[in-house]
Every structure is written in structure tokens, then in C-alpha cells.
Amino acid sequence: MLAPTDPKAGDKVVAEIRAPQTLQRGPNVVERALRSPVGFLFPAIAVIVLWELGGTFGFIDRIFFPQPSRIFRALERLAAEGVILENLSITLRRVAAGFVIGTIPAVLVGLMLARVKWASLIIDPLISLTYPIPHIATLPLLLVIFGLGSPPIIALSSIVCFYPAVVNTAAGVRQVDERLVQMARNMGASSRQLLWKIIIPAALPTMFAGLRLGLGLALLGGIAGEFVAASEGIGAQTWLYWQVYKIEDMYATLVVIIATGFTMTNVMLFLERRFFSWSKATQKQL
């Protein structure tokens, strides 16, 4: 390396680029903690701690916003009594049924929308018309049709998860790289081979993102349905505790619902990352 030299007498220096005098600082402790794999928990923990302290020192109304420690004790008690597991399993069965019933036709319709011309001409307008409806608003109608209990809840769940699945499936199929289709056709692929070996695998990442959104909505639909249509299930339990004014127990069931939704979404995200890593990597290069 050359040693830095002074400009010769008479030479006018126009610009200089040098190494910085001080070492550049990396991210500090707080930033590193927040960026760590469990970093997303810290803001939530901070809110819980503030909530707890606010309740203890009387800044927060303890009747409507009981301290997290009291909610946790209520949760412990309900779990010990078996209330949580029993109701959660009922809810999960309804949500799973709704998800399956909503998603299977959604995937088939989505494939047709993208591949069959007349299907898109007829079904596309129907989807566009019904998509903006708040689907939860169909619950009264579902109650009229199915009565009370599991059937209207499963129906609501399936309706709300149908839409993201259908839209994402059609989008995924429409985005299939035309060069791969040409390549497969030159290799002599039949329509069926083209569908199973090129089109569906290529559309899967987008399709699966729709299923992930749909699963979250299926839970939402299930809980909302249980508020009014059932006496069992974790959503029905939340509603019951509100009616009998057991605020701490109501919060405890809400915590269970949050944890369920969080787990579902993250399992789906994990699966996406595990199986569709090629998709992100390919997109980045294009």
C-alpha cells in the first residue's frame, strides 16, 4: 500500500477520499436483541410489564383491564378444570372442517379461473361481486339455513377462507413462467403432465400463501360464529364469560385464541419457508 502523501506544492486538492478516523459502530445491544430470533417477543413483554405495573399502581382500571398476572392465574385455573382443552378442541375441529370445505373448492375454482377461458368469463365477475362483502355479515343467513350449533360455524369458516385461497390460486397459476410451459410441451408433455409437473408446482408458493391467510380467517370465522351460534367452543366460552361478567376468565380465553392464531400462522410460514425456498431465491435473481 502507498503511504498517504502530502499534495505537492502548487497542486490544488479538489477532493480526497480517506478511511474514516474512528471505527464505525455496529448495532448496539438493544438493536441486536430486537433483531434476534426471539426479538419479536420483547415489545410484547414490555407492554405486559407496563400493563402489570399500571394496574398495580392504579393507573389502569383493574376491573376492565385485570393485570396480566391475574389473567394468567385465571388461565391456569381454567386449564386445570379442563375447560380450555375441551372447548379448544371443539373449536379446532370446526375450524379444520371449515378450512377443508372452503379450500378444496377454492383451489379447483382457482385453477379453472386461470386455465379455462369460459370459467373466467363466468366465475370472475361473481367472485369480484362477492369478494368485497364482509363475509361475517352472512352469519344471520347461515343461522337461518343451518340453525344453531356447528353447521353454521363451519359454513362461515369455509366462506371466509374460500376467497384468499381462490384469488391466490388463480394468481399463482397465471404467473407460471411461460418458458417452462413451452419447454415441457417441446418435451412432449401431455396436458395432464403439464398440469401436475409444471403448472401446479409453479403455482404452489402463491397458492400456499393464500391458504395461510385463509387459515387465519377460518379461525376468525369460527370464533365469530361461536359467539352467537354455539354454547361450546372457545369463542362461545369467551362470550359466556362476558355475559356472566367473569372478566378475567374472558381474558384468559382470549389469550388462548391469540396463541392459537399465532401458532397456526407460524406453522404455515415455517412450511412455506421449508418447501418453497426455491421461489424466493428465484424471484430475487430475476
Partner 1 sequence: MIVSLENVFKSFQVPGGAPLPVLDNFSCEIAEREFLCIVGPSGCGKSTLLTMLGGLEKPTGGVIRFSGERSSSGPLTTIVWQDYALIPWRSVIDNVSFGLEIMGVPKHQRKAEAMRHLKLMGIEGFDQHYPHQLSGGMRQRVGIARALTNNPEILLMDEPFGAVDAQTRMVLQDELTALWMRDRKTVLFITHSIEEALLLGDRVIVLSPRPARILEEITVPFPRPRSVDIERDPRFTELRLHIWDLLKGGVEKARIEPEATSAGTH
Member of 21, 24, 186, 243 binding partner 1 (CB under 8 A)? 186
Regarding 279 and contact with partner 1 (CB under 8 A), the answer is yes
Task: Determine how many CB atoms are found less than 10 A away from the CB of residue 216.
Answer: 18
Alpha-carbon distances of 149 from 90, 146, 219, rounded to whole Å: 11, 8, 16
11 — alpha (psi -120 to 50), left (phi > 0) or beta?
Answer: beta
Q: What's the min distance (Å) between Cβ of 245 and partner 1?
A: 55
How far is it, in rounded angstroms, from Cα 91 to Cα 261? 12
Q: What's the min distance (Å) between Cβ of 204 and partner 1?
A: 8
Member of 83, 92, 189, 195 binding partner 1 (CB under 8 A)? 189
Q: Which is nearer to partner 1, 231 or 277 (CB)?
A: 277
Q: Which is nearer to partner 1, 243 or 285 (CB)?
A: 285
Regarding 196 and contact with partner 1 (CB under 8 A), the answer is no
Q: Which is nearer to partner 1, 33 or 183 (CB)?
A: 183
Q: Which is nearer to partner 1, 46 or 271 (CB)?
A: 271
Regarding 188 and contact with partner 1 (CB under 8 A), the answer is yes
Regarding 136 and contact with partner 1 (CB under 8 A), the answer is no
- Collapsed DSSP state (helix, strand, coil) of residue 28: coil
- Span 156-185, contacts to partner 1 by CB under 8 A: 179-180, 182-185
Regarding 120 and contact with partner 1 (CB under 8 A), the answer is no
What is the crossing angle of helices 41-56 and 68-81, to 10°?
A: 100
- Residue 173's closest CA among 262, 107, 260? 107
Regarding 243 and contact with partner 1 (CB under 8 A), the answer is no
The one-letter code for the residue type at 11 is D
Angle CA 207–181–280, to nearest 5: 45
Q: Which is nearer to partner 1, 204 or 254 (CB)?
A: 204
How far is it, in rounded angstroms, from Cα 62 to Cα 90? 31
Contacts to partner 1 by CB under 8 A:
179-180, 182-189, 193, 197-198, 201-202, 276, 278-279, 281-282, 285
